[in-house]
Structure 1
């Protein structure tokens, strides 16, 4: 009897010790898990989905500045390469955030990618994420800064361009008043006044036209147009000036191609190219205008035998108010807006414009537009 009681007591003590040991293990496990979470916390759930949804660049950095998470925009901007932040400036800001625990926002100029020469202007914001991580957000503001510069340049250029003819009109009006008793002088000053007035009118009209084109994203009522008719109308507008300079306007064979768009705008675009070719060509030379279409693309090419364009200027000739030859443009009444207008017209028609030039050998401008018949077949799925 006594032995049975001793056995029961021993079993009870064993169970109590075992239970106590298991409890100690559970407590130790909980403490270990909590310590692990403090030492090595996980990136909060849902961060991947948030980063994928962001338009701005976003990066999550660990204490060693390894990239744990990144958005597609951060990669495309060249901020992340080989799971590392490319720019040391960003790492310095991350270190400041870790030390202070306070968010930081700054504007920086950074290189675009680890090997690129191009720079970008970015607005960066950094803040702690959890107990160990740093969240970096970057907004590419390069285009916004560029547009601000373009606006400032545009206003400055307009002021400069308007100042010359306005001043000339004022001086000529004063000269007319003083020469009231001299008919020959009156006629001479009146002729110059008419020239300056016409130049001012053209400049104003082209500024208005360019502003309208820049605000227009698409054509309001496009229609199918015969490109040969457009070219003929554009060339006819330059025949008087060309004939006066003994410049031959040679038009190629009809192409029979159709394009979809606005007839007035397309005539203006081709005319601006032809007028430029005439203005920059020597007397007795030749300007060729041709049309061809292939693989659903219609090309209108204007070729001159003029002075040509320096390679350094080729990237700038479509800028507003840019002139290859300032003196000649002033003499011929050029505004520096013609090629910029051509570029915008072609763009809203879904095309592009290209230029080839060699100093001393002339220039060739090519407008490329989608062919209307090709577009229609593509939509219906038919084959020609």
Structure 2
């Protein structure tokens, strides 16, 4: 009897221990599953597809501010690194959304990525996603901000540039009125008035041309144009001024190269480069203008032996109203728009422009434009082709 009782007791104890062990295993498994859900929470249904479809950069954050989903845009813009938001400003906004439950929209200037120095402008929008998550959307407005700054600078510069000749015209008109009985003074003031009015007209015309180029209305009907004719025309427009300063303009051999484009605009671009080379060259020096074919492109090079451009200014010479030498530009009547116009003309023709310079040794500007296929200009009438290159003999 005793042995039977002992067996029953042992059996009961074994069952109790086994049940307890099973209970502990179940509790441990459930705790582990809950911990896994906290560490790696599932993104709510449909969020993956929504983020992939949006143009905005998108990020979903869990209660611990871990990034559980980030769109390719968020990664490429440097908003997320190692499954964390990079910028403390964004984390502050996430905290505000969690506390208030309200949607937040703000404009922020942030560095690009965890190691970036360049600033980017974002419009961010944050909102709760269910009860646990926060959704962050960011739109890159950096280019829009840059264009706004360019427009503001352009308006400010135009106002400044126009103010000087307009004020001078007003003052000279008053001086003419007061010197009506003095023929010598009248002639002197009249010459000054003519000079300032020409400067004002030139500035206004260049502003109009630059606006037209930026609107990309310049090449509605591109034509086959002789590069040799372009260069010859541009050089001829500068021979008188160069001769007065005893500056020689040397032109290289004809290439009979052609491009598709607007002849008037291309002449204006090359003319601006030659005029600059003459204006910034010392008396008795030489300006070289050459054309060559190079790997499907036509290169027009203008080289001077002038004062040169500081290395720090090389990246800025094509900006509107930028002048390397303010005093000299004023004396030569420069508007500060010439190189900006050249850049836009070349870009509208599918090309680019490069500059090399060394202080005290001169500068070289090179325009590269795609060359028209040889078969196109070989089909031109012989007399037309020869006339375009300035040659009179077949």
Aligned to 1:102: 102
Matched, 1:370 2:370: yes
1:59-78 correspondence to structure 2 within 5 Å:
59-78=59-78
Query: Alpha-carbon deviations, 1:142-185, whole Å to 9, x = none?
Result: 22122222222111111111111111111111111111112111
- Displacement of 1:81 after TM fit? 2.5
- Displacement of 1:96 after TM fit? 2.1
Contact 1:246 1:285 (8 Å CA) reproduced: yes
Contact 2:107 2:121 (8 Å CA) reproduced: yes
Cα distance in 1 for partners of 2:279, 2:50 equals 57
Aligned to 1:381: none
- Displacement of 1:317 after TM fit? 1.2
Equivalent residue of 1:65, what SS?
coil
Q: TM-score, structure 2 length as denominator?
A: 0.82
Instruction: Note closer, same or farther for the CA distance 1:259–1:49 as it changes in structure 2 (3 Å cut).
Output: farther
Contact 1:218 1:349 (8 Å CA) reproduced: no
**Which range moved further: 343-352 or 253-262?**
253-262
Query: Alpha-carbon deviations, 1:323-354, whole Å to 9, x = none?
Result: 11111111111000001111111111111111
Aligned to 2:267: 267
Contact 1:235 1:274 (8 Å CA) reproduced: yes
Q: TM-score, structure 1 length as denominator?
A: 0.84
Matched, 1:157 2:154: no
Cα distance in 1 for partners of 2:375, 2:216 equals 22
Instruction: Note closer, same or farther for the CA distance 1:213–1:102 as it changes in structure 2 (3 Å cut).
Output: same
Is there any run of 5+ residues in structure 1 with no aligned partner, and where?
1-27, 377-384
**Which range moved further: 36-45 or 178-187?**
36-45
Cα distance in 1 for partners of 2:232, 2:249 equals 11
Cα distance in 2 for partners of 1:375, 1:345 equals 25
Cα distance in 1 for partners of 2:302, 2:76 equals 38
Cα distance in 1 for partners of 2:52, 2:370 equals 35
Aligned to 1:49: 49
Aligned to 2:344: 344
- Displacement of 1:218 after TM fit? 6.4
Cα distance in 1 for partners of 2:375, 2:76 equals 32
Alignment RMSD (CA, Å): 2.2
- Displacement of 1:71 after TM fit? 2.1
Contact 2:308 2:359 (8 Å CA) reproduced: yes
Is there any run of 5+ residues in structure 2 with no aligned partner, and where?
1-25, 377-394
Contact 1:41 1:132 (8 Å CA) reproduced: no
